[in-house]
Amino acid sequence: MKLELYVRETSPDGCGDGRWLSLRSVVTNADGRLDGPLLSGGDFKVGCYRLIFDVESYFMAKGVALPKPAFLGKVPLDFGIADAQAHYHVPLLVSPWSYSTYRGS
């Protein structure tokens, strides 16, 4: 699945209404995971982030019959990193009709 990662431009109140700045675009492996972290080293900072999961394209590539338009297209997930020393794992459990997420370990 294709993922796009954005960070919220710094604003006086932390996240606020700053612009979303694109950081990178990646594709998960056959297990649905990334081969490495999206953020590491100096890139891993306190802030507000957005992941956009391209759910529709993923299921279309798998040959799943989807309605037009698909119920889920791209799923945005906004989350915050409050501790740059902690571990953040952000899984998306998804079907063509629903999704859930949580902060994993």
Each residue's pLDDT tens digit, 74-98: 999 999 999 989 999 999 999 999 9
| pLDDT of amino acid 72 | 98
- CB count within 10 Å of CB 95 equals 12
For 17, half-sphere exposure in the C-beta direction (CA atoms, 13 angstrom radius) is: 0
The domain over range 2-101 is classified in CATH as 1.20.140.10: no
Map out the domains of the chain as residue ranges: 2-101
pTM recorded for the entire structure: 0.90
70 neighbors 85 (Cβ within 8 angstroms): no
pLDDT category at 12 given cuts 50, 70, 90 is low
Mean of all residue pLDDT scores within the chain? 92
